[in-house]
Amino acid sequence: MSFRNVNVQKVSTLSTIKLLISCLVNIKDETGEFLMPLADGRIIDTKGWNDWEWTHGVGLYGLYKFYQITGDAETLKIMLDWFRDRFEIGTTKNVNTMSPLLTAAYLHASSSVDVNYLPHLEAWGDWAMHDMPRTDEDGMQHITYIVDNYQQLWDDTLMMTVLPLAKIGLVLGKPEYVEEAKRQFLLHVKYLQDTQTNLFFHGWTFDGRHHFGRTRWARGNCWITVSIPDFIEMLSLPPEESVCKFLKGVLKGQIDALVDLQDKQTGLWHTILDDPTSYLEASATAGFTYGILKALRTRLIPKEERYVNCAKQAIQGIFDNITVDGELKQVSFGTPVFDDPEDYKKVKLTSMPYGQSLALLALTEHLRTFL
């Protein structure tokens, strides 16, 4: 093999992805600041790799997307080891702990991976479909380890629970799971989209019927940008199918708003999208980048210069915020729904698995341009 005419950008992207993965699985909470004590005595490590929370679920999904393109054996081993160790000890079920089941379903269905996760897929799918707490209008209530979030819908739920439910439905041959996932997308858009801006509020509650601080939070919005293209692709929805057409319109409207709000100096977005006094945040930027690049590739949005340039600036912004050790900087810690928008500005910045994995998603989608 000759390396005389190597594509420098491709090699550089692959090298950076490997650094991101190394940092992802080696992140440690040196001070204990980001540990989550539970009432039953468990202490969840939300920052380190060896625990079970949405932070790990998104990390696994990023790893799977990279493995899907490259077939990298080391990446596969990281995923299989995680599932072996976590399934052995188990966890309690909530919106966030369901997120790893998306990757589990993909691995179970893969012809190149010899695993049997069927009992786990059956148990989690049945819980989400029948036993998970619901809001009015039968929405998926955003229940977490610590808080029930009574009657609340969050953007995050689409990524953490609805996508896994849809994939499990496909794997198990349960079309009712897929139809419920479609309905959840429609319901969440109905209550969380800000029709004036086409952005999304972080949360909605039926208990008082309001959007809390009416905050258009970046990472909440990025779950929409990530999940819609993946949902449409996962279900192979025909372009003229009604749910597909609806979600394409939602996605395009959101991306149009994002293009206008991108910081032109850095390529990043502010943690409160329409508040330039809030800090620039890289994990949401990575999510937006992945969704925009994928929407362009799968022709959910037209290949217009404004979209292409937005994605290019965002990719450069991500590269600019990855250290020589592979850590994505400017990542905000896990964030609840706040009543006061100012509280979003006070959330600490720290290296987190989802920051690494959202960057991994973005750079893996970017890698496709070199295939």
For range 25-53, the mean pLDDT:
92
pLDDT > 80? residue 105:
yes
pLDDT > 60? residue 222:
yes
For range 106-118, the mean pLDDT:
97
165: confidence class by pLDDT, cuts 50, 70, 90: very high
pLDDT > 80? residue 3:
no
Residue 5 has a pLDDT of 75
Q: List C-alpha distances in Å: 227 to 40, 61, 307, 327.
A: 33, 12, 18, 24
Phi then psi dihedrals of residue 36, to 5 deg? -120, 100
Residue 246 has a pLDDT of 99
For range 24-37, the mean pLDDT:
90
Give percent above pLDDT 90 in the chain: 94
Residue 4 has a pLDDT of 67
Q: List C-alpha distances in Å: 266 to 81, 246, 278, 332.
A: 37, 32, 14, 17
| Among the listed residues 275, 231, 224, the one whose alpha carbon sits nearest the alpha carbon of residue 254 | 224
In the chain, what are the domains? 8-370 (1.50.10.10)
- What is the per-residue pLDDT across 79-103, written as a single tens digit (0 to 9) for each? 999 999 999 999 999 999 999 999 9
User: In whole numbers, what is the pLDDT of the chain averaged over residues?
Assistant: 97
Residue 2 has a pLDDT of 53
pLDDT > 50? residue 333:
yes
For range 26-54, the mean pLDDT:
92
Residue 1 has a pLDDT of 45
Inter-residue contact 86 to 52 (CB < 8 Å): yes
Q: How many CB atoms lie within 10 A of CB 304?
A: 11
pTM above 0.95, yes or no: yes
Inter-residue contact 194 to 200 (CB < 8 Å): yes
